[in-house]
């Protein structure tokens, strides 16, 4: 009962208006048409159990990323896989480390297994490897690192991730949460595949909810050392991924054009939205993902809560992040062109009104 339940991004506004939903980092272009068609085709055999091993999906992931399918485990979103990892490797008295503004599921998964959450401070909203290493004790069993991080949108170079792995004891599992990796366009970034391939104690998790636009289907995957994959397969549900999700996931992976289009859209509108909001006098944390963290001034009338209420009155829904220790900020997903322009117009009106 010490666990605070995860609160998803809001999805409706008062008055029944159709909102610009920019609260959950969803793909503004939606899913691949091929994925939608595969999902619909799977509706013809809903009486049948899915392949309990998600063999076709694991093989498709392996083809795209050049991996061994035997070391891939699929789940109902990467959230399920994070919880399975905690369940497999944490017991009462064990510690799991994550950063102060890290994904809330890390704390929930740790507490759910009776483990002890250990929070490492960040440096200018970036993961601080030295702070993590300084908090390792004989009871540390897992370290969770989101790279890029949600909700900050920041990342650390792969050299830093490698330094973290080298500094951790061999019995500590490093879990690299790469949910937003497809959006990153930096030469010094790597999602974690190399470390999983070359060490026996690193796991990388990924999702179909973001770049592939399949959030409704709850589909994710982990690339693991063979022993970790074996452990997860022993405790996961026997049919934890549905047949329609498997079919849509395979089709989404094969539609490289849709992925490229989604990345290109983000590459256009991420810098545009960041620049426009900075012109309004707002501070925006530089992001490599498909969302930005916008910081508001303190004081009545101009703070994040007031901005959130104003945006909702204009049918724009963003994400409050007080639960992440960032009460003075709002997280804004990169939306369609119309949604991005509506967001800027609404915040311009808000800032103008607040300044009076």
User: What single DSSP character describes residue 209?
Assistant: S
Can you give the pTM of this predicted structure? 0.95
**Same domain, residue pair 350 and 223:** no
Residue 201 in this model has a pLDDT that exceeds 60: yes
Contact in structure between 123 and 25 (CB atoms under 8 Å):
no
Q: Residue 9 falls within a domain, yes or no?
A: no
CATH number at residue 271: 3.90.1150.10
240/100 same-domain check: yes
pLDDT at 354: 60
pLDDT digits (tens, 9 = 90+) for 255-265: 999 999 999 99
57 and 190 share a domain? yes
Residues 247 and 285 in one domain: no
The DSSP H or E segment spanning 173 is: strand 173-177
Q: With bands split at pLDDT 50, 70 and 90, how would you rate the model's confidence at 203?
A: very high
Phi/psi of residue 82, each to 5°? -60, -40
Q: CB–CB of 318/332 below 8 Å?
A: yes
Tally the C-alpha atoms within 13 A of residue 283's C-alpha that lie toward its C-beta.
Answer: 10
DSSP letters along 258-321, please? HHHHHHHHHHHHHHHHHHHHHHTT-EEE--SSSEEEEE--SSTTTSHHHHHHHHHHTTEE-EE-
Q: How far apart, in whole angstroms, are the C-alpha atoms of residue 134 and residue 353?
A: 46
- Residue 15: pLDDT band by 50, 70, 90 thresholds? low
Indicate the length of the chain as a whole number. Answer: 356
Q: In 3-state terms, what secondary structure has residue 136?
A: coil
Tally the domains of the chain: 2
pLDDT band at 193 (very low <50, low <70, confident <90, very high): very high
**The pLDDT value given to residue 53:** 97
Look at residue 73 in the predicted model and tell me its pLDDT. 98
Q: How confident is the model at residue 9 (pLDDT cuts 50, 70, 90)?
A: confident
Cis ω for the linkage preceding 151 (within 30 of 0): yes
pLDDT top residue among 32 and 355: 32
Contact 343, 22 (CB under 8 A): yes
pLDDT at 6: 81
CA 333/CA 337 separation, integer angstroms: 12
76 and 110 fall within a common domain: yes
Residues 235 and 330 in one domain: no
Give domain status of residue 44, yes or no. Answer: yes
Query: What mean pLDDT comes out for the span 247-273?
Result: 98
Pair (145, 196) in one structural domain = yes
Which one of 232, 254, 276 terminates a domain? 254
Q: Per the domain annotation, does 89 fall within a domain?
A: yes
Q: What is the mean pLDDT of residues 211-227?
A: 98
Q: What is the pLDDT of residue 10?
A: 77
How far apart are alpha carbons 129 and 151 in whole angstroms?
18
Q: Rounded to the nearest 5 degrees, what angle is found at the Cα of 274, between the Cα atoms of 268 and 275?
A: 90
Is the pLDDT confidence value at 18 over 90? no
Instruction: List, for residues 33-78, the tens digit of each pLDDT value.
Output: 999 999 999 999 999 999 999 999 999 999 999 999 999 999 999 9
Residue 356 has pLDDT above 60, yes or no: no
Mean pLDDT along residues 136-150: 98
How would residue 299 be classed by pLDDT, with cut points 50, 70 and 90? confident
Boundary (domain end) residue, out of 220, 254, 288: 254
In a 3-state reduction of DSSP, which class is residue 4?
Answer: coil
Same domain for 228 and 343: no
CA–CA dist 121, 165 (Å, integer): 18
Residue 70 lies in a domain: yes
| One domain for residues 318 and 186 | no
Give whole-number Cα distances, 112 to 28, 109, 120, 211, 212, in Å.
33, 5, 20, 29, 29
Last residue of a domain, one of 254, 277, 298: 254
Q: What is the CATH number of the domain that holds 44?
A: 3.40.640.10
- Flag whether 338 is in a domain: yes
Q: Average the pLDDT over 120-139 and give the result.
A: 98
| % of the chain with per-residue pLDDT over 90 | 92
Contact 226, 69 (CB under 8 A): no
Q: Assess whether 318 and 208 both reside in one domain.
A: no
| Tally of helices (H runs) and strands (E runs) in the chain | 12, 13
Going by C-beta distance under 8 Å and a sequence separation of 6 or more, which residues neighbour residue 109? Answer: 82, 83, 85, 86, 87, 96
> pLDDT at position 3, please?
84
Q: Is the CB of residue 72 less than 8 Å from the CB of residue 293?
A: no
Q: What is the dihedral of CA 180, 350, 346, 340, to 10 degrees?
A: -30
Is the model's pLDDT at 335 over the cut of 60?
Answer: yes
Short-list 250, 350, 199, CA closest to 39: 250
Q: How far is C-alpha 163 from the geometric centre of its chain's CA atoms?
A: 23
For residue 123, what is the DSSP state? B
pLDDT value of residue 33: 98
Answer whether residue 3 is part of any domain.
no
Mean pLDDT calculated for residue range 139-163: 98
Considering the domain architecture, whether residues 231 and 333 belong to the same structural domain is answered as no
Considering the domain architecture, whether residues 250 and 292 belong to the same structural domain is answered as: no
Instruction: Please give the residue range of the domain that contains residue 102.
Output: 33-254
Closest to 215 measured CA to CA, from 17, 5, 35, 65: 35
pLDDT at 16: 66
Lowest mean pLDDT among 92-96, 240-244, 253-257, 352-356: 352-356
> Dihedral of CA 103/107/112/113: which sign?
positive
């Amino acid at each position: 009962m010490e666990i605070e339940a995860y609160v998803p991004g809001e999805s409706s506004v008062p008055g029944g208006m159709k909102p610009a939903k920019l609260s959950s980092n969803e793909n503004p272009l939606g899913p691949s048409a091929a994925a939608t068609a595969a999902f619909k085709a799977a509706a013809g055999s809903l009486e049948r159990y899915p392949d309990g091993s998600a063999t076709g999906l694991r093989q498709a992931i392996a083809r795209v990323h050049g991996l061994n399918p035997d070391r891939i485990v699929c789940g109902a979103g990467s959230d399920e896989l994070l919880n399975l990892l905690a369940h497999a490797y944490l017991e009462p008295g064990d510690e799991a480390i994550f950063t102060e503004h890290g994904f809330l599921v890390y704390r929930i998964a740790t507490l759910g297994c009776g483990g002890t959450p250990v929070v490492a401070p960040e440096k200018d909203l970036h993961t601080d490897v030295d702070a993590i290493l300084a908090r390792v004790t004989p009871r540390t069993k897992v370290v969770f690192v989101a790279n890029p991080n949600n909700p900050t949108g920041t990342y650390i170079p792969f050299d830093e991730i490698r330094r973290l792995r080298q500094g951790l004891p061999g019995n500590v599992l490093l879990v690299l949460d790469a949910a937003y990796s497809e959006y990153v366009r930096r030469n010094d970034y790597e999602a974690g595949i190399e470390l999983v391939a070359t060490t026996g104690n690193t796991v990388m998790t990924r999702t179909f909810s973001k770049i592939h636009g399949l959030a409704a289907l709850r589909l994710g995957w982990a690339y693991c050392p063979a022993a970790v994959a074996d452990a997860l397969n022993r405790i996961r549900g026997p049919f934890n991924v549905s047949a329609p999700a498997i079919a849509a996931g395979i089709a989404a992976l094969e539609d490289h054009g849709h992925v490229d289009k989604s990345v290109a859209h983000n590459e256009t509108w991420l810098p545009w939205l960041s620049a426009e909001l900075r012109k309004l006098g707002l501070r925006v944390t530089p992001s490599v993902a498909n969302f930005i963290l916008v910081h508001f001034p303190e004081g009545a009338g101009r703070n994040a809560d007031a901005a959130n209420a104003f945006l909702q009155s204009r049918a724009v829904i963003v994400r409050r992040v007080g639960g992440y220790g960032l009460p003075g900020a709002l997280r804004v997903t990169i939306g369609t062109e119309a949604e991005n322009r509506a967001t800027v117009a609404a915040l311009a009106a808000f800032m103008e009104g607040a300044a009076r």
